[in-house]
């Protein structure tokens, strides 16, 4: 595996790969890799001649400095995982390499509306940080494909809109959320949970699934009572709720009545760890 830490070297490598007509697949990550990332790598190998994984803990997308400081870091272990799964290139830049003029002087990319609602409202500036660094990676690496998990559903919609509206010739391919046996969505942040919180965390998806079933069975189109009941259950289990609602599957407008295509989005805190999850609800 070739580990590249600076843009000049990466530019040269990409130029060579393009010259020999290699199809490039990119998996952007912030490291602390888990089975979900491995599944993305395996998926990327089906589409790509060359698989590139980036590891960059992007300070621009953190509006909470404590959250940034606590984000798990495991570079040596990550390298072992990538080598074992035969990743071709790891791009591991420093903050100065990505933001040479400083974050405060960085030109940024913002996807309107979608970046400012739901989680974007709860975490101002978060998605601006995501789209700015993703655009930088797309510009430098020029992948044919880029791969993302569906756990970060709002992020996925935003990146798809970014690609469409900035005319990137990149196919975005998503992978359904990978879960542990108890239903907890795999996430790098799970490593911050203590032993008691690890036992509690799976209740999030359990309550999401229960909510989805109730919405489907409900005779009335009104769903606010179901949402309020689910929020109460989460509170009783010890979760602090930033977001728990039902939204339009494409626009992410909050819904008060049932539609054919909906999605439950949840963002909660368990102790000092933020957990996100979702579930689609399709009604025939």
Can you tell me whether residue 68 is helix, strand or coil? helix
73 marked ligand binding residue: no
Identify whether 126 is a catalytic site residue.
Answer: no
97 marked ligand binding residue: no
Strands across the sheet containing 261-270: 240-248, 261-270, 273-282
33 marked ligand binding residue: yes
Angle at 178 between CA 243 and CA 168, to 5 degrees: 80
Pairwise CA distance, residues 41 & 52, whole Å: 9
126 marked ligand binding residue: no
With tokens 């595996």, the residue in question is 1
| Set 14, 37, 78, 153: catalytic member | 37
36 marked ligand binding residue: yes
54 marked ligand binding residue: no
156 with 36: CB under 8 angstroms? no
Residue 40 CA, distance from chain mean position: 12
149 marked ligand binding residue: yes
Residue by residue, DSSP assigns 193-253 as: --HHHHHHTTHHHHHHHHHHHHHHH-SSSB-HHHHHHHHHHHHHTTPEEEEEEEEETTT--
88 marked ligand binding residue: no
123 marked ligand binding residue: no
154 marked ligand binding residue: no
186 marked ligand binding residue: yes
230 marked ligand binding residue: no
34 marked ligand binding residue: yes
Rounded to 10 degrees, the C-alpha dihedral 217/223/224/229 comes to 10
30 marked ligand binding residue: yes
DSSP classification of residue 26: E
Which residues, listed in sequence order, are joined to residue 146 by a DSSP beta bridge?
26, 172
Q: Which of 135, 188, 142 is nearest to 158 (CA)?
A: 135
Pairwise CA distance, residues 58 & 67, whole Å: 12
Which amino acids are annotated as binding site for ATP, given as ranges?
Answer: 30-37, 149-152, 178, 186-189
Which positions are annotated as active-site residues?
37
Residues flagged as binding site: 30-37, 61, 149-152, 155, 178, 186-189
Binding residues for beta-alanine: 61
Specify binding-site residues for (R)-pantoate.
61, 155
């Amino acid at each position: 595996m070739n580990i590249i830490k600076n843009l000049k070297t990466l530019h040269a490598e990409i130029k060579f790969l393009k010259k020999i007509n290699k199809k490039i697949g990119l998996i952007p990550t912030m490291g602390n890799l888990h089975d979900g990332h491995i599944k993305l790598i395996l998926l990327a190998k089906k589409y790509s001649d060359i698989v590139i994984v980036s590891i960059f803990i992007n300070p621009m997308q953190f509006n909470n400095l404590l959250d940034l400081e606590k984000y798990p870091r495991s570079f040596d272990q990550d390298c072992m995982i990538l080598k074992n799964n035969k990743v071709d290139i790891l791009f591991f830049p420093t903050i100065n390499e990505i933001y040479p003029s400083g974050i405060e002087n960085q030109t940024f990319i913002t996807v309107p509306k979608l970046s400012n609602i739901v989680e974007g409202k709860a975490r101002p500036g978060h998605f601006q940080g995501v789209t700015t660094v993703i655009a930088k990676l797309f510009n430098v690496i020029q992948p044919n494909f880029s791969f993302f998990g569906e756990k970060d559903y709002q992020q996925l919609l935003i990146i798809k809109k970014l690609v469409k509206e900035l005319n990137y010739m990149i196919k975005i391919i998503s992978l359904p959320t990978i879960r542990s046996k108890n239903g907890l969505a795999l996430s790098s942040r799970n490593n911050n949970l203590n032993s008691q919180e690890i036992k509690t965390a799976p209740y999030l998806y359990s309550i999401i699934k229960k909510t989805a079933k109730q919405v489907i069975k409900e005779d009335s189109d009104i769903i606010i009572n179901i949402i309020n009941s689910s929020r109460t259950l989460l509170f009783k289990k010890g979760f602090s709720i930033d977001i728990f609602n039902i939204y339009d599957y494409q626009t992410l407008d909050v819904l008060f009545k049932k539609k054919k295509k909906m999605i439950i989005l949840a963002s909660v805190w368990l102790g000092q760890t933020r957990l996100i999850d979702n579930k689609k609800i399709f009604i025939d």
